[in-house]
Structure 1
Amino acid sequence: MSKLKGVRKLSIFVEIVLFSFRVFFYVFALVDVYTEKDTVDEFYLVLTWLVIAMIVPICYWIPLVYKRSMYYCFAELLLNGSLTIYAMQTTNSYTALFIIAALTVSFHLERRYYWLIAVMAFFPFIEFILQGISLEDENPYFFIFNHWLLLMIGFGFNLIIKAYKNTENLNRIIEEQNQTLVQYARQIEHLTLVEERNRMARDLHDTLGHSFISYIVGLDAVSYLMDSNPSEAKKRIEELRDYASGSLNQVRETIHEIGTETDISLTSNLSAIIDEFSEYTNTNVTFKIVDEEYVLQHSIRMTLLRCLQEGLTNAKRHGHATEVIVTLSFLEHEVELVIHDNGTGTDQVEYGFGLSSMKERLAVLNGELQVDSNKKQGTMVKCQIPFRRG
């Protein structure tokens, strides 16, 4: 970001320098015409023309105030160019007046008008045509060199600054997309946590709720039996203890089996993530399911969810993909998730934090990660986890 701020400062600095150079150039030209007024034909016409050529173009360009580049370019070319041709005809000699137009106009040109560079580069030869002066003279070569040098300097700054401005715009777009992806990731993380919390709440409510109600009723009965029938109360306490022990084991089993509950299927979870991703990133994602879904362990389900999130995020953030195909295959001895995008791709895959984390998650389950990418042909991420049905 600091680099881009430096480019903006450079652009402003170049504009101020060119503007100041232009003003000084015209002032010196006015002084020169005035001091030579006795030898200048149509002195007042030339003086007026020079003042107009100096003032009118800056109605469209003053640094840090306003700028309408193409209006300035056409005004400068018309007034300066016509004055230059008139001066050549009346003085019967070369004039350097047009070099200021070549410098400033080439700096302001927009891409669709770059053809004017060729016109301005040819302009010195108009003098040869009008005056009939041989190119073998030393002065014409020097004049052409100065003219082309300033033309290239102005056009060079034009290209450099436009390139950095394009880079700045691209960085801004990328930053906006990254913010969108961050928001999407937070949404998915929130949805995942909410899903886990809700399932745990339901399971624990069913188990613990029934158990504690039984304890309360049983203890109320014991409180009445403590005075009237102590032996029966003791028996009831022992029964409650055995029941509590059984309930504890049941809670442990419930917590252990939370991940295998199938009230929300894996395909539904993946589909929800894909829908959220498509909505937040304007990406066309196609979801394909191969063979019939079967129940998976919680650890496998969560790993596949994380792999999908990371794969979609990488496709958009790094590959700038517009289309993604997600294929979930329930095979006989393994479950396979493939994420294929149409992004920019790369000839050399680098395992950053995201891919490394994905690989580690899969390794814990004896799974494998395969990443194939080619420049301009997109990227394919394949996650394979061995699993035997039944």
Structure 2
Amino acid sequence: MSELRGVGKLSIFVEIVLFSFRLFFYVSALVDLYTEKDTVDEFYLVLTWLVIAIIVPICFWIPLIYKRSMYYCFAELLLNGSLTIYAMQTTNSYTALFIIAALTVSFHLERRYYWLIAVMAFFPFIEFILQGISLEGENPYFFIFNHWLLLMIGFGFNLIIKAYKNTENLNRIIEEQNQTLVQYAKQIEHLTLVEERNRMARDLHDTLGHSFIAYIVGLDAVSYLMDSNPSEAKKKIEELRDYASGSLNQVRETIHEIGTETDISLTSNLSAIIDEFSEYTNTNVTFNIVGDEEYTLQHSIRMTLLRCLQEGLTNAKRHGHAKEVMVTLSFLEHEIELVIHDNGIGTDQVEYGFGLSSMKERLAALNGKVQVVSTKKQGTMVKCQIPFRRG
């Protein structure tokens, strides 16, 4: 990024050099004109014309202060072009007046006016049309070569600086999109943590609430049986103990997250992530479900698929710059399959960075596997498969 930020400094430096070169050239032309005023017809007309041709264009271009590129270009072409044609007609020889105009104008041209390059390239041949081939003075081809050379130098700087500025803008847009993706990932992580906290709270509430109500009712019964039927009371206490042991195991399962997910389905969780992703990244994501019924999945499998979806969507946007993504969740006979297919830029060589490596490790822990297929300009397909047998 530091190189790209230096483009602005380079552009300013080139402008200052061209501005100084132009000013020096025309001041020299003024001095030469004044020195040879006795040999110049209509000296004051030419002097006034030259001063206007120097001053008016810089009213639209002063480096670091003011710049209206196309106003400058048209003023330069009109005033210096007409003065050059007048000078060639009166002296019947080539003049280098327009060379500097060709240099500075070609540097300032906007894209929609690039056709003026062809006009300026043809400019040296105007005298051939007006006066014919036989011109007095130095070899005209020398001036034509210099004219074209400076024209191409100015236009070359124009293209280089515009290309770097476009690259800088694209990098800024990509950086903003990456920031959006980072925020999205943080929000998904936060939502996942909140979801887990709520799930555990619900499980603990259902388990402990039901258990304590049973304890209270059972203890009330024991209090009545203690005097009337001690043996029955003892039996009731043993039953309550066994029930308490079972409740304790349920609480342990909830805390260690080894219970099954019953309240929120996998498809609902995936849909929530997809909706969040579409909203925050402005990406069209379609979600398809294949299979007659959804399995009751272990928490570890569900969380792995959620993470795989999150990583797949993030990669599709961050690396593939995809605008459309299709997600397919398939409940098959002996496995569950998640496929993320995007229409991004793709690549001919897939590299397993941190995200894909983590995905591979998560799936391997469940005897699953990941397959990544990518083709340049045709997008990327990520397939996650986890073996699962209905129980």
Question: Structures share a fold, TM > 0.5?
Answer: yes
Distance 1:278 1:264, change over 3 A: same
Report the Cα offset of residue 335 of structure 1: 0.5
Is this contact kept in 2: 1:307–1:358, CA < 8 A? Answer: yes
Residue deviations 1:266-285, cap 9 Å, x none? 00000011111111111111
Q: Which moved more, 1:239-248 or 1:342-351?
A: 239-248
Q: Secondary structure at the match of 1:385?
A: strand
Report the Cα offset of residue 153 of structure 1: 0.7
Q: Secondary structure at the match of 1:227?
A: helix
Residue deviations 1:28-83, cap 9 Å, x none? 11111111111111111101100111111111111111211111111100101000
Q: Secondary structure at the match of 1:258?
A: coil
Distance 1:26 1:259, change over 3 A: farther
Q: Secondary structure at the match of 2:327?
A: strand
Report the Cα offset of residue 132 of structure 1: 2.3
Distance 1:214 1:40, change over 3 A: same
Report the Cα offset of residue 194 of structure 1: 0.8
Q: Which aligned runs of 4 or more in structure 1 are off by greater than 4 angstroms? A: 134-138, 209-246, 256-259
Residue deviations 1:194-227, cap 9 Å, x none? 1111010111123334556788999999999999
User: C-alpha separation between the residues in 2 aligned to 1:285 and 1:95?
Assistant: 65
Distance 1:384 1:137, change over 3 A: farther
User: C-alpha separation between the residues in 2 aligned to 1:229 and 1:265?
Assistant: 48
Is this contact kept in 1: 2:347–2:376, CA < 8 A? Answer: yes
Q: Secondary structure at the match of 2:304?
A: helix
Distance 1:21 1:228, change over 3 A: farther
Distance 1:219 1:92, change over 3 A: same
User: C-alpha separation between the residues in 2 aligned to 1:42 and 1:167?
Assistant: 51
Distance 1:44 1:226, change over 3 A: farther
Report the Cα offset of residue 260 of structure 1: 1.2
Is this contact kept in 1: 2:94–2:137, CA < 8 A? Answer: no
Distance 1:375 1:136, change over 3 A: farther
Q: Secondary structure at the match of 2:38?
A: coil
1:93 — aligned with what?
A: 93
1:358 — aligned with what?
A: 359
Q: Which moved more, 1:97-106 or 1:210-219?
A: 210-219
Residue deviations 1:161-202, cap 9 Å, x none? 000000011011111111111111111111111111101011
Distance 1:228 1:55, change over 3 A: farther
1:41 — aligned with what?
A: 41
Is this contact kept in 1: 2:92–2:135, CA < 8 A? Answer: no
Is this contact kept in 2: 1:53–1:80, CA < 8 A? Answer: yes
Is this contact kept in 2: 1:199–1:258, CA < 8 A? Answer: no
Is this contact kept in 1: 2:93–2:137, CA < 8 A? Answer: no
Structure 1 segments unaligned to the other structure (5+ residues): none
Q: Which moved more, 1:76-85 or 1:202-211?
A: 202-211
Q: Which moved more, 1:251-260 or 1:218-227?
A: 218-227
Distance 1:311 1:134, change over 3 A: farther
User: C-alpha separation between the residues in 2 aligned to 1:137 and 1:351?
Assistant: 70
Is this contact kept in 1: 2:253–2:259, CA < 8 A? Answer: no
Structure 2 segments unaligned to the other structure (5+ residues): none
Is this contact kept in 1: 2:53–2:79, CA < 8 A? Answer: yes
Distance 1:88 1:181, change over 3 A: same
Q: Secondary structure at the match of 2:39?
A: coil
User: C-alpha separation between the residues in 2 aligned to 1:238 and 1:313?
Assistant: 55
User: C-alpha separation between the residues in 2 aligned to 1:51 and 1:175?
Assistant: 48
Report the Cα offset of residue 148 of structure 1: 1.0
Q: Which moved more, 1:108-117 or 1:125-134?
A: 125-134
Is this contact kept in 1: 2:328–2:338, CA < 8 A? Answer: yes
Distance 1:240 1:382, change over 3 A: closer
Is this contact kept in 2: 1:259–1:299, CA < 8 A? Answer: no
User: C-alpha separation between the residues in 2 aligned to 1:117 and 1:202?
Assistant: 73
Is this contact kept in 1: 2:346–2:375, CA < 8 A? Answer: yes
TM-score by length of 2: 0.91
Is this contact kept in 2: 1:373–1:379, CA < 8 A? Answer: yes
Is this contact kept in 2: 1:369–1:383, CA < 8 A? Answer: yes
Residue deviations 1:117-171, cap 9 Å, x none? 1111111111233332359997222111211111111011000000000001101
Is this contact kept in 2: 1:135–1:141, CA < 8 A? Answer: no
Distance 1:25 1:212, change over 3 A: same
Distance 1:257 1:156, change over 3 A: closer
Distance 1:32 1:249, change over 3 A: same
